[in-house]
Amino acid sequence: MTAAAPLATRRPADIRRAWIERDEVALLDAREEGPYSLAHPLFAVSVPLSRVELLAYDLLPRRDVPITVYDDGEGYAEPAARRLQALGYGDVTLLEGGLAGWIAAGFEIYRDVNVPSKAFGEWVEHHRHTPSLPATEVKALIDAKADLVILDARRFEEYRTMSIPGGISVPGAELVKRVHDIAPNPETLVVVNCAGRTRSIIGTQSLVNAGIPNRVAALRNGTIGWTLAGLALDNGREGRFPAVLSAEGDDAGRRRARAVADRARVGRIDAATLGRFRGDERHTLHLFDVRTPEEYEAGHLPGFRHAAGGQLVQATDEHVAVRGARIVLTDDPAAGGGPRADMTASWLAQLGWEVHVLEGDVSPLGSESGPDRRILPPVPEVGAESIAPRDLLALLENGEATVIDITRSPRYRAGHVPGAYFSTRARLAGIIARLPKGVRPVLTCGDGTLTRYAVADFPAGQRPLLLEGGTKGWVAAGLPLSTDLDRLGGEPDDIYKRPYEGTDNSAAAMQGYIDWELELVNQLKRDAAHNFFVV
């Protein structure tokens, strides 16, 4: 076999220049999310070697977009780049010097995840002096039965895990659309919270930008600030925004959101222009429906992925990897745009993206229903053998097989095939090499998708079996799961534990996270490569 040609490199300065000049470029970190969260450039996106096939086609829809991959000397970058080439990407390079090369060039590095959005939130508060109230003051208002509403701008699942007493779930993009019905009295104080700072700031500033007559304030530092003040959170609440929207509230939300989007210079396109965008091979194009998951599943435009507006602003890098890409949003197709698309677009524009809202008659585009689905490449045709759950059970009982679970570690912790080892895909070969002779390795993951790609990593004579249907198939066969962690190994690095999620975080971790967020403005000033602006 002919050896593959050496991969070309791009200099850190070329990447940074592309960001400043708004040229399309994707900078991908091939490490697991844990190491990525400790140090990475501002617009670097986490695409671990373990999950390239699961992420690439959604994050990188244009096959000839310039892509640069790096690691920090672990050896993941080149195989990840080769994997991207095998998926059809034609302009794939390595970052010259890797992460160390970026640092040696004198460029800024950041920690944590979703950093562009979080840094932007701090930038907004710094420039607009977004109003906020400390937890103790909000608690006193609650105790005094003051006229206020508390709107939780996170996803509903996060709200259910922990929430401010009396708060209701109004995910970020819904705020301007719903607030007129939730707080029709202009004397009512509107308090917006999230777990930390970003969605509180952006949600509050959304209402301020929209010019609602009420006094608005963010809960300073969100549920973290509440907890650090020694106050108790609620768990398992079901409070949501009202299901029915009044005509007056709908009209007010539309007018106010459109005015904000216009100030942010958001583009507006019709179906014909969308057709031209789709045919433009020079630009990466992302299409997002920013409504609730339930609305999306009931019916949406073909080709539009679901990304609830608040989360799209909060975690843009989980949906778009190409800095300089073009983004088109749709809200309520039957009504021509809508406040959720306008408000989401206003923030994406300020984050430095080219963003447009689809309006007008979109009926020629058609409609489809069902949940959002990832765009996946074809599974390699390598003749992989699979095994049914009950056949595997027999092998396990006879000591003839060992299961290796390559799902993400939180899912493994929640329940796995009894006796299964945990491994990231990138480290899978090392686990298999340590198994006793004569024991057949069997791969599983949540639904079996990732294992179908992972089996191609092994030579033909050494390929493991695949559990049919993955761990879900095991459960569907009526077989039990285990939560024993004896074979988890060392602390997994595939997931960064967010200090603002869950209810078991230490006070030191929460305070450290808040301190880090407050320093982001100074980092942006030193960096000077972000193209953020604030209306």
Query: Does residue 108 sit in the same domain as residue 126?
Result: no
Query: Does residue 91 sit in the same domain as residue 138?
Result: no
- Rounded to whole angstroms, the Cα distance separating 199 from 222 reads 9
Radius of gyration of the chain (CA): 24
Confidence of residue 107 (pLDDT cuts 50, 70, 90): very high
Predicted pLDDT at 132 = 98
Report if residue 484 sits inside a domain.
no
Query: Does residue 102 sit in the same domain as residue 130?
Result: no
Contact 72, 102 (CB under 8 A): no
| pLDDT 10s digits, 169-218 | 999 999 999 999 999 999 999 999 999 999 999 999 999 999 999 999 99
- Rounded to whole angstroms, the Cα distance separating 199 from 201 reads 5
* Structural domain count, the chain: 4
- Minimal CA–CA distance to 154: which of 209, 207, 223, 208? 223
**Six token digits for residue 140:** 């006193």
Report if residue 531 sits inside a domain.
no
- Rounded to whole angstroms, the Cα distance separating 119 from 114 reads 9
**Six token digits for residue 424:** 């990231």
Query: Does residue 349 sit in the same domain as residue 280?
Result: yes
Type of residue at 311: Q
pLDDT at 442 exceeding the cut of 70 = yes
DSSP assignment of 97-142: THHHHHHHTT---B-SSSHHHHHHHHHHHHHH---EE-HHHHHHHH
**Six token digits for residue 437:** 């002779």
Predicted pLDDT at 1 = 43
Contact 94, 69 (CB under 8 A): yes
Query: Does residue 391 sit in the same domain as residue 347?
Result: no
446, 476, 506: which is the final residue of a domain? 476
- Rounded to whole angstroms, the Cα distance separating 121 from 155 reads 17
Query: Does residue 126 sit in the same domain as residue 104?
Result: no
Query: Does residue 126 sit in the same domain as residue 228?
Result: yes
Query: Does residue 274 sit in the same domain as residue 341?
Result: yes
Query: Does residue 351 sit in the same domain as residue 413?
Result: no
Report if residue 105 sits inside a domain.
yes
Predicted pLDDT at 414 = 97
pLDDT at 249 exceeding the cut of 80 = yes
206, 238, 270: which is the final residue of a domain? 238
Report if residue 526 sits inside a domain.
no
Report if residue 516 sits inside a domain.
no
63, 89, 113: which is the final residue of a domain? 113
Query: Does residue 351 sit in the same domain as residue 279?
Result: yes
- Minimal CA–CA distance to 419: which of 437, 398, 449? 398
Confidence of residue 91 (pLDDT cuts 50, 70, 90): very high
Report if residue 489 sits inside a domain.
no
- Rounded to whole angstroms, the Cα distance separating 215 from 212 reads 8
Cα 65 to Cα 48, 61, 72, 281, 318: the distances in Å are 19, 9, 23, 10, 18
Task: Give me the torsion for CA of 180, 184, 186, 191, rounded to 10°.
Answer: -70
Provide mean pLDDT across the span 65-78. 98
- Rounded to whole angstroms, the Cα distance separating 181 from 188 reads 12
Provide mean pLDDT across the span 105-118. 98
Confidence of residue 2 (pLDDT cuts 50, 70, 90): low
CATH number at residue 272: 3.40.250.10
Confidence of residue 504 (pLDDT cuts 50, 70, 90): confident
Predicted pLDDT at 3 = 64
Residue 327's domain spans which residues? 257-364
Report if residue 186 sits inside a domain.
yes
Type of residue at 44: A
Provide mean pLDDT across the span 264-269. 98
Report if residue 247 sits inside a domain.
no
Provide mean pLDDT across the span 154-171. 97
Query: Does residue 228 sit in the same domain as residue 129?
Result: yes
CA 373 to chain centre: 15
Query: Does residue 125 sit in the same domain as residue 232?
Result: yes
| pLDDT 10s digits, 329-379 | 999 877 778 999 999 999 999 999 999 999 999 999 999 999 999 999 999
**Six token digits for residue 413:** 């912790």
Partners of residue 46 on adjacent β-strands? 29
Confidence of residue 470 (pLDDT cuts 50, 70, 90): very high
Region for residue 528 given its phi and psi (left: phi exceeds 0; alpha: psi -120 to 50; beta: otherwise): left
Provide mean pLDDT across the span 136-165. 97
